[in-house]
A and B are shown apart, each in its own frame.
Chain A
Amino acid sequence: MSAAKSTSFDLKRSLIDTILAGLISLIVFGPIVGVVLDGYSFNMEPTRVAWLVAGVMAGRFLLSLFLQTPKGQSILQGFEGSGSGVHVLAPDYKSRLRWIIPALIVIAIVFPFFANKYLLTVVILGLIYVLLGLGLNIVVGLAGLLDLGYVAFYAIGAYGLALGYQYLGLGFWTVLPLAAIAAALAGCILGFPVLRMHGDYLAIVTLGFGEIIRLVLNNWLSFTGGPNGMPVPSPTFMGLEFGRRAKDGGVPFHEFFGIDYNPNVKFLFIYIVLFLVVLAVLYIKHRLTRMPVGRAWEALREDEIACRSMGLNHVLVKLSAFTLGASTAGLAGVFFASYQGFVNPSSFTFFESALILAIVVLGGMGSTVGVVIAAFVLTVAPELLRSFSEYRVLLFGVLMVLMMIWRPRGLIRISRTGVVPRKGVAP
């Protein structure tokens, strides 16, 4: 019987699956698609629902059949095996990243030659979220501190540039490091009171912190312009501006180099700097996770009492995670502000924090590659599918549910390379 099972199809099971899927889709689509508002009344549209439900059922049936083939079985097993958390690679394991990273860098260099302005801005946005994801990944993924107000540090970076320009005449390059420092300080300030908190309590306090920053920006009209926002200067390259005409009688970039004025140059410039910063952050993070502090973060996530028994200073470890995460968000904020040319508080709502958290969760807590992929999926996909942009939140929801079912530990499983035994030590 069991031998026959693997070759023949279990039709009954497939049919049950199909009917269940049909019922669920009827419940989900019925009210949304079947009832169409028409002025003050509404029309029933049973045929549309019928089509959708039929589509879902047919799809489910085919999927169910496919999963019973040997190939489908192996795919299914791949999914089921993924729940087992971290897996450790052999010390001499050569990561595929050896090829992927140089390939990505090459793509990134070639990309601007082919991209139009729109594509360029989309990718810039994607990279900004990569930065945010990497930063939050330190706090949530590695150190295990659930931070729901992460957007506050992003806002500090963005407003740092706007305010610094308005009141102190600072430009992009000065603010870039300053914003990282300011956000790090804010991370410290938030870090101290929440040191003793865990899980839910920490989440609530950080959520509150994020909202406080947004509300201050929103309501301090005289200083931040409130909901009207503030203008942000364009970045400069060695003092050269990218505008058609430079202010204060300076020479704009295109005249200095004797090329035609091209409004894309500003974005190209942001893209290049941003890409370099992302690479630097990736590198730093890569180093950190292999240093004692990186290990300490993970140890803290796993068991705080064990950490204390090793004499680990949990205050320092938590603060360093908060500070580093925050400063990364500060950097991202500066790029976001220059990219938009304008900031206002509505860019820094809780939804944004949730989006960044979704990137970290989707990418697989603690996994760098996963975070990079997830950042692009969650920010670039909605842009490219512009016509479906209202469904962005739906897309999120669906992705999250699918993830929790099939990849409860994120897209990319964290894998660590085992320790390399030194020479002269028997293996």
Chain B
Amino acid sequence: MSAPILEMKEIDVFYGPIQALKKVSLHIDEGETVSLIGSNGAGKSTLLMSIFGQPRAASGQIVYRGTDITHKSSHYIASNGIAQSPEGRRVFPDMSVEENLMMGTIPIGDKFASEDMQRMFDLFPRLKERRNQRAMTMSGGEQQMLAIARALMSRPKLLLLDEPSLGLAPIVVKQIFATLRELAQTGMTIFLVEQNANHALKLSDRAYVMVNGQIRLTGTGQELLVNDEVRNAYLGGH
């Protein structure tokens, strides 16, 4: 049993008077793919951002590879192996694919830039075709690939993905999840936030279900796929 790469212990997060996360505890082991599912406003994005200290946890502890990172700067966290692809993709619209990828190297410097860019082009051949195209003019699916590739450019040990399927056609979602599976097989630890529970649970080793800022359920992907509550709430009952 490998040690947890990330452990969150009883995290509370507030936006002003509103409590967005209530005593959230979870752990992600090295090499695992873990997903977090929940409806709109459950607090999934908040949880992901709180790993980066934005917003900061009011109480509780976040431990990453044995180090308490609860109060570390976002820059420290990013340059020590956690990367995320934020909700809504957020690629740099006026920059080309290559430039976007270069931006991804900011946390670690550009020592490995060309080599890593090549790896990204192998992983996402579509990006290679469009290496000089401006991100703004690319399709949603291509932008999502770019956002994931940009996150990977900082050579993360833990990859955080916020709703990679957002607003994409089913076929594109399938492609993206196929790539994520490929990525997971290379040993990458992935923490995936999704509304698309079906895809997420099939991909994941384990999953958490979040409701109103609290973890309601947890189990392996297979267990949750057949769980009645999950089926009714997130899988449309079929």
B205 at the interface (CB under 8 A from A): no
A28 at the interface (CB under 8 A from B): no
A3 at the interface (CB under 8 A from B): no
B204 at the interface (CB under 8 A from A): no
CB <8 Å contact, A310 and B154:
yes
Contact of B86 among A305, A420, A422, A426 (CB under 8 A): A305
CB <8 Å contact, A309 and B90:
yes
Binary interface profile of A, 61-86, with partner B (CB < 8 Å = 1, else 0)? 00000000000000000000000111
Binary interface profile of B, 92-116, with partner A (CB < 8 Å = 1, else 0)? 1111101100111111011001110
Excluding A88-B132, A303-B93, A306-B91, 16 further A-B contacts by CB distance (< 8 Å) are A86-B95, A292-B110, A295-B102, A295-B106, A305-B86, A309-B84, A309-B86, A310-B107, A311-B78, A311-B107, A313-B74, A418-B132, A420-B114, A421-B114, A425-B114, A425-B115
Bin the interface of chain A by size.
20 to 34
Residue from A306, A416, A418 with most neighbouring chain B CB atoms (10 Å): A306
| CB within 8 Å: A-B pair count | 93
CB <8 Å contact, A306 and B90:
yes
Cβ–Cβ < 8 Å partners of B96 in chain A: 86, 88, 416, 418
CB <8 Å contact, A88 and B114:
no
B137 CB, nearest partner CB in chain A, Å: 9
CB <8 Å contact, B93 and A302:
yes
* CB under 8 Å from chain B, chain A span 274-329: 292, 295-296, 298-299, 302-303, 305-306, 308-313
A107 at the interface (CB under 8 A from B): no
Name the residue of chain A whose CB is nearest to the CB of B108: A292
A419 at the interface (CB under 8 A from B): yes
CA A416 to CA B114, docked complex, whole Å = 16
B175 CB, nearest partner CB in chain A, Å: 22
CA A296 to CA B92, docked complex, whole Å = 11
Name the residue of chain A whose CB is nearest to the CB of B73: A313
CB <8 Å contact, A312 and B92:
no
CA A295 to CA B113, docked complex, whole Å = 14
Cβ–Cβ < 8 Å partners of A308 in chain B: 52, 54, 74
Known contacts A88-B98, A88-B99, A420-B114; A311 and B91 CB within 8 A of each other: no
CB <8 Å contact, B52 and A302:
no
CB <8 Å contact, A425 and B118:
yes
Contact of A418 among B78, B79, B98, B103 (CB under 8 A): B98
CB <8 Å contact, B78 and A310:
yes
B9 at the interface (CB under 8 A from A): no
B211 at the interface (CB under 8 A from A): no
CA A292 to CA B104, docked complex, whole Å = 10
Cβ–Cβ < 8 Å partners of B42 in chain A: none
Contact of B92 among A84, A302, A420 (CB under 8 A): A302
Cβ–Cβ < 8 Å partners of A302 in chain B: 92-95
CB <8 Å contact, A419 and B106:
no
* CB under 8 Å from chain B, chain A span 395-411: none
B77 at the interface (CB under 8 A from A): yes
Name the residue of chain A whose CB is nearest to the CB of B90: A306
B75 at the interface (CB under 8 A from A): yes
Please name the 5 residue pairs, one residue from A and one from B, whose CB atoms are nearest each other, closest first: A311-B78, A306-B90, A309-B86, A302-B92, A311-B74
Binary interface profile of B, 139-159, with partner A (CB < 8 Å = 1, else 0)? 000000000001000100000
B200 at the interface (CB under 8 A from A): no
Residue from B95, B113, B115 with most neighbouring chain A CB atoms (10 Å): B95
Contact of B106 among A296, A305, A422, A426 (CB under 8 A): A296
Binary interface profile of B, 46-76, with partner A (CB < 8 Å = 1, else 0)? 0001001010000000000000000001111
**7 A/B residue pairs, CB under 8 Å, sorted by A:** A85-B94, A85-B134, A303-B93, A310-B107, A311-B77, A418-B131, A426-B118
Number of chain B residues close to chain A: CB under 8 A: 41
Name the residue of chain B whose CB is nearest to the CB of A418: B98
CA A306 to CA B151, docked complex, whole Å = 10
A316 CB, nearest partner CB in chain B, Å: 8
B117 at the interface (CB under 8 A from A): yes
CA A265 to CA B77, docked complex, whole Å = 57
CA A308 to CA B105, docked complex, whole Å = 14
CB <8 Å contact, B90 and A305:
yes
Cβ–Cβ < 8 Å partners of B107 in chain A: 310-312
Name the residue of chain A whose CB is nearest to the CB of B137: A84
CB <8 Å contact, B114 and A419:
yes
CA A299 to CA B86, docked complex, whole Å = 15
Name the residue of chain A whose CB is nearest to the CB of B74: A311
Name the residue of chain B whose CB is nearest to the CB of A427: B118
CB <8 Å contact, A419 and B113:
yes
CB <8 Å contact, A295 and B134:
no
Known contacts A88-B96, A298-B95, A305-B86; A310 and B114 CB within 8 A of each other: no
Cβ–Cβ < 8 Å partners of B102 in chain A: 295, 419
Cβ–Cβ < 8 Å partners of B132 in chain A: 88, 418
Cβ–Cβ < 8 Å partners of A88 in chain B: 96, 98-99, 132
A143 CB, nearest partner CB in chain B, Å: 14
Known contacts A420-B114, A421-B118, A422-B115; A310 and B98 CB within 8 A of each other: no
CB <8 Å contact, B90 and A419:
no
CA A420 to CA B79, docked complex, whole Å = 24
Known contacts A86-B134, A305-B86, A422-B115; A295 and B103 CB within 8 A of each other: yes
CB <8 Å contact, B90 and A313:
no
A85 CB, nearest partner CB in chain B, Å: 5
A196 CB, nearest partner CB in chain B, Å: 14
Known contacts A299-B92, A419-B117; A306 and B98 CB within 8 A of each other: no
Name the residue of chain B whose CB is nearest to the CB of A292: B106
Cβ–Cβ < 8 Å partners of B118 in chain A: 421, 425-426
Residue from A302, A416, A425 with most neighbouring chain B CB atoms (10 Å): A302
Cβ–Cβ < 8 Å partners of B154 in chain A: 310
